[in-house]
Every structure is written in structure tokens, then in C-alpha cells.
Structure 1
């Protein structure tokens, strides 16, 4: 079914969420701010989510009814938006969404086949030993009381490529690194950084708590400094191959100058 002409301009986006890019097939990238949920996890969380409307957990899609003004004019047609991937509420940056159910199936297939390239930026305490590295660790992840917790002493394979971009000298030194995960495990990047003695600044679960507190006191920055910077995907649709990409600029907190 064709999208309503004003589909994208009338999405019920949460304040601060914006469209980074979209294509004519119905694939789009949204920029998620810190503190925004990828989707509601329980009733009442819709106002804190990417879209401020109900979410179908089984179909993994947001949905909203037709909305009209008192004079009968249409404000927004009924619609759906399918979530392709997730970010922790404390992580900012690129998220992919699709406006078509069949397209969503295709893109999810690319995620399953590791056909989606994702690049993150992280500010970490310390200095990497090498400019580039490949981190392969076996993780364990548990969910208890709605909270996810992991560690690096498990059996789940995980892999990320790390590139050191620069360091800001000081006590402690803080480095900017680029991370490209090959696998998509829960809390993977945060656990990898912890395992390799480069805890992410502001990580309240796996980080260095005394240094987090001291850094926040000096800089005023209290967020997790992990940002989904760039995402790209190639996919086959209606007899043709397409490529889609989106970039979310680094927030000012990631400066090493």
C-alpha cells in the first residue's frame, strides 16, 4: 500500500528524534537522543519512546490511528513503522526503521546475515595498546527484572573491530575510539571495552565508577559516551539492489581537542 503523502512529516516522533535519511522504498534512519527508549518496554512508557504511540512487541512495530482536527481535516493518517534494530536508552545515534512490512522482513534478514554495517564512537578511560585491534570475547547475558546484565565469562561469541582515533591527555587520559561490531550481542560494545581495560566514560553498569564521578564533576557530562555514528545496508527489493546509509554527527561531548 502506498504511503500517505504526509507520512514522514506527520510521524508521532518524540521531541528530539529526527529523520536523518530515507529512501523511496520506505527505509529510513532516525536519530535517537540519550534517554529515549527504542520502544516502550511496559505500559506507560510510550511518551519516553522513539515514537509516542503504541508498540506491537510481536510484530516489532509502532502503530497509530487516524487523527482528525475538530473541523474534520486529517492531521495524520493511520500508519505503522517497523523497528529494525535497537539502542540502549543511554546510547544515542542511528536507528533504522521501515514503513513497509515486507521491506522490514528484508532488512531484518540483512541484520540476521550480518549484512548491515554499524559504526559506533566511544569515549573511554585509558589509551588503547594498539591503533587497531579485533576484540573477540565470549559473553554471557542475563535478563532479570526487566534489566539486562552481561559479563565476559560466557559462551556467546562476540566480535568487534576497534580503531583508536585520538587521546586527550590528562588525569585520567580519555580516548576516542571507533567500534565496528560484527555480532550484535546485548551490551556487546560496553562489555568489550570493560574487558580490554577501556571502560566507556559514563557507563553506570560496566564502567569505572570513581572516574565517572570525577569526570562528571569536572566536565558536567553525565551520559554514557557511546554513539551510533554510521549505519549502512545493501538490500534487494523489487528486482534491484539498493544501498542505504545514514550518519549521525558526533555530539560535542566526544571532542578530544
Structure 2
């Protein structure tokens, strides 16, 4: 694949003095400013036969630039043909329903069979490259054992737009969870900075000093067994690691099945019928599903919204609880 040559129009008189990277970003909307800055620093921008390697170079009236864009480098993770539940896909992005048990990114302990490996194989040449690398743009994550909706960008411009929406907290994300007990009050907000647990660095916790601000809005939808377990909807105003799991635990209502933050509820279980006790005790992951995702389409501008029904394991547990 050969290098692409882009030739923006000459600099207009009223644009004189603008930074080169900012000016080029206005002329080349398919490339992010970060990508343009990297191209400048890599010696890919030429004016009058001279290479301009300073992103802060001030442009002059009538100046003409030529920008070379090398082909996207192949992604380091290997594409793997793994079945995906694709909810929506177009040239800009893909929305998938992630199953519980799938890791999003390759990492030590999970080098392959991840969502990224699957997306590389599924999207193939339709990935236009993020920051010069042919890879899907992941803007938010779900824990390995959390199921539900995720969006990934297929182009630089889509990645920039979705990242900005995420930073501005304008992405709509709602989860449904089974928690131990009946939250009181049944509707409210949980605020508290989330950082590393000072007693266990593998966990997160609500911390008094440091951490990052986090806000979760919750509402009880249904309760079972006289308040032994509740179905709760949680909406994220921020996106911190393990946010819902940590916040609900801090309130005293940890998620059913959560191996890291859940606490024993033997006392509550005693009052429940044996099939229900067994179903709750045997549930092997945090009972959390990302059921709703909404955002502004990066290029079309329209608001799009997706919903996902409960996966079979959670739906089965809820059905068992409803039979009490």
C-alpha cells in the first residue's frame, strides 16, 4: 500500500499566524489533531520543498503544504475469528453485545481471544486506522465478567468524537444489576472518589484522598424474597474502573456473585427456598449487564440508542427469584 498525499488549499490571509497543526486539522477533518501533530513531527509535512517538523510553526498567507500519510501500521494483536454479537455496524463504528467472560484488551494473563482480537478479524480492511495503527478504537470498557453493550470506533474521526463524548459524560450508559439487600433510599446518587484500595492494590475502593471523582445514579426496579435481593438500574455519570461494583458495595449492597467486592449473605439466604439459595450461591460472576447505550453518531450527527436484553444466565436467575 502506497503513501497517501494530501494537498490542502493555500493559507488564506486571515489565517496567518495560526499554528500549523491546528490549521491542518481544520483542513483535514478525517485526521485528528493528535494524528496530524505526529505526522508533522515524523517529517511528513512539506512546504516549498522544505520539511516542516514543528507543529507550532506559524502559517503564512499563501503558504502551501503537502501532507504525506503513510499506510496504517498493522495492529500488534493478531486477528482471531471469534463470533461476535453485532448490534449495529457502519463505516464509522461498531456496537457489540459483549458476553461475560470476554476480556476487552490483550494483557498479561489474557494475551488473546479478546474483544480486540475478534474486532480485528471481523472488521478487517474496514478499519481505517486509529492514530496510524489499524485497530479498533476502544473508548470505554466492560469488566471481563460484565456483559452488555460496547461501541468501538473504526476511524480516527469517529474515535475522536466518541472520546470527546465520553469525556463530556454525554454518552448514555445504563446497567442492570442484582444486589444483595434492598437499597435505602430506593433511588439516589452515590458520589465518592474511586482509587486503588490501600489494603489490596488489586481492588478499587471509595477513597478519602486522591482517586478520581465518580458519580453513579441508581434506582431499585424490583425486590425479591422480602428484600433479600434487588434488581437495580445504575446510570453512570463517570466511567471509573469497577465503578458500579465499588459504589454499590460502599452503600452496603454489593452485587450478587461479585468475587472481589461481594460479601457473604448467609443470613439472608437462610430464609429463601433451597432452589433459590443454590441459584444465588452458584452464580459465578458479578450480576451486572450493560443494557443501554446512547450517543451522537460521529459523522451523521443523529442520536442513536441501543438496548440489550438480559443474557441467559442473568435472565434465568431473575426468573428463579421471581418464583419466590
Decide which structure has greater helix share. Answer: 2
For 2:259 and 2:110, how far apart are their aligned partners in 1?
24
Q: Does 2:103 align with 1:37?
A: yes
Question: How far did residue 138 of structure 1 move?
Answer: 2.4
Q: Does 2:282 align with 1:227?
A: no
Question: How far did residue 39 of structure 1 move?
Answer: 1.2
- The verdict on how the C-alpha distance between 1:83 and 1:216 changes in structure 2, with shifts beyond 3 A counting, is farther
2:35 aligns with none
Q: Is the 8 A contact 2:292 2:306 kept in 1?
A: yes
Question: How far did residue 216 of structure 1 move?
Answer: 9.0
Higher relative contact order (CA 8 A, sep 6+): 1
Bigger CA radius of gyration: 2
Q: Is the 8 A contact 2:175 2:290 kept in 1?
A: yes
1:46 aligns with 112
Q: Is the 8 A contact 1:38 1:89 kept in 2?
A: yes
2:148 aligns with 93
Cα displacement string for residues 36-84 of structure 1 (whole angstroms, at most 9, x for unaligned residues): 001111386212x11436xxxxxxxx64699xxxxxxxxx658442222
Q: Is the 8 A contact 2:182 2:229 kept in 1?
A: yes
Which moved further from structure 2: 149-158 or 111-120? 149-158
For 2:99 and 2:144, how far apart are their aligned partners in 1?
8
Q: Is the 8 A contact 2:296 2:304 kept in 1?
A: yes
> Cα RMSD over matched residues?
3.2
Q: Does 2:169 align with 1:169?
A: no
Q: 2:82 aligns with which of 14, 30, 51?
A: 14
Decide which structure has greater strand share. Answer: 1
For 1:65 and 1:223, how far apart are their aligned partners in 2?
27
For 2:109 and 2:159, how far apart are their aligned partners in 1?
24
For 1:115 and 1:202, how far apart are their aligned partners in 2?
30
Question: How far did residue 244 of structure 1 move?
Answer: 2.0
Cα displacement string for residues 93-120 of structure 1 (whole angstroms, at most 9, x for unaligned residues): 1111121122111111110111101000
2:278 aligns with 218
Q: Does 2:243 align with 1:243?
A: no
Structure 2 stretches lacking a partner, 5+ long: 5-78, 128-134, 270-274
Superposition TM-score, scaled by structure 1 size: 0.75
For 1:94 and 1:193, how far apart are their aligned partners in 2?
21
Residue pairs, 1:1-257, within 5 angstroms = 12=80, 14-15=82-83, 17-22=84-89, 24-42=90-108, 45-47=111-113, 49-52=114-117, 63=120, 77=125, 79=127, 80-141=135-196, 148-154=202-208, 155=210, 156-169=212-225, 173-209=228-264, 211=266, 218-219=278-279, 220-237=282-299, 240-251=300-311, 252=315, 253-255=317-319, 256-257=321-322
- The verdict on how the C-alpha distance between 1:254 and 1:27 changes in structure 2, with shifts beyond 3 A counting, is farther
- The verdict on how the C-alpha distance between 1:152 and 1:42 changes in structure 2, with shifts beyond 3 A counting, is same
